[in-house]
Amino acid sequence: MKARAHSAVGFSLVELTLALGVAAFCLITVFGLLAVGLKTQQAAVQQTKANEIISQVADDLRSDVRLPPGQASKAQGQWSNLHGHWATLATPDTLYFTNEGTQTGSVNQSPAPTDAVFRAKITYYAPPTPGYTTSLADIKVTWPAQVDPATGAPAGSVETFVAVNR
């Protein structure tokens, strides 16, 4: 009778330990990147919402009609309080918005409303050439709304410059 040769099949304890160590290192790396990914995604959502607010403010400034003297009472809508601000160039308007992009509080309210997440500052400029009807505005949206960019550093900001043919 022939004796059978037994061959051992499988992994040694050292190989198994190394494989588990590599797998653990990879999992720790992936879990570490999750926090970075979530923070980046949150910043992208806030920048997108801030761009929507800028677009909304610019559209409302463009659609705002210049009413003759004495006719300001006929203005309608939430932006009717911005009439004539190109005449007082030294005073920028500050508006506050919720996380959904709806305006909250009043123009130039201080302190910021408790439900405000974004702060929009509209700075008006005179037409570059006297006699022309194109007015200029700088719109800057910062967040969080409770941080005044003049005194502190906001978490993020988006800014644009618009020309409004009035």
What is the value of pTM for the model shown? 0.71
Q: Where are the domains of the chain?
A: 29-65+83-165
pLDDT at 8: 67
- Among 35-49, 101-115, 129-143, 151-165, the range scoring the smallest mean pLDDT is 129-143
**CB neighbour list of residue 91: distance below 8 Å, 6 or more residues apart:** 85
Asked if residues 123 and 92 have their Cβ atoms less than 8 Å apart, the reply is: yes
List 141's β-bridge partners, or say none: 120, 158
- Residue 124 backbone dihedrals phi, psi, to 5 degrees: -100, 145
Lowest model confidence (mean pLDDT) among 24-28, 104-108, 122-126: 122-126
Q: ω into residue 111 within 30 of 0, thus cis?
A: yes
Give residue-wise pLDDT tens across range 115-147. 999 999 998 877 666 666 677 889 999 999 999
